[in-house]
Amino acid sequence: MKITNKEKLLNIFENTLDDGSMKYSGSFEKIDYYDLMCKSATNSSLHIIENSNVCMFNCLYENMESVLIMVAIPIVVDQSKGKKHIVERTMEIVELLESTFVTIDFMNSEEVKEERFVYLIAVKKL
Whether this prediction's pTM lies above 0.75 is answered by yes
Please report which confidence band the pLDDT of residue 21 belongs to, taking 50, 70 and 90 as the band edges.
confident
Nearest to 54 by CA among 10, 85, 19: 10
How far is residue 107's CA from residue 49's CA, in Å, rounded to a whole number? 18
CB-based contacts of 121: which residues, under 8 Å, 6+ apart? 28, 31, 68, 69, 70, 106, 107, 108, 109, 110
The residue-averaged pLDDT of 36-40 equals 92
Exposure class string for 78-91: b at 16+ Cβ within 10 A, else e: eeeeeeeebeebbe
What's the confidence (pLDDT) of residue 82?
A: 57
Is residue 119 over pLDDT 60?
A: yes
Q: Please state the φ and ψ torsions of residue 37, each to the nearest 5 degrees.
A: -65, -40
For the chain, give every domain's residue range. Answer: 5-125
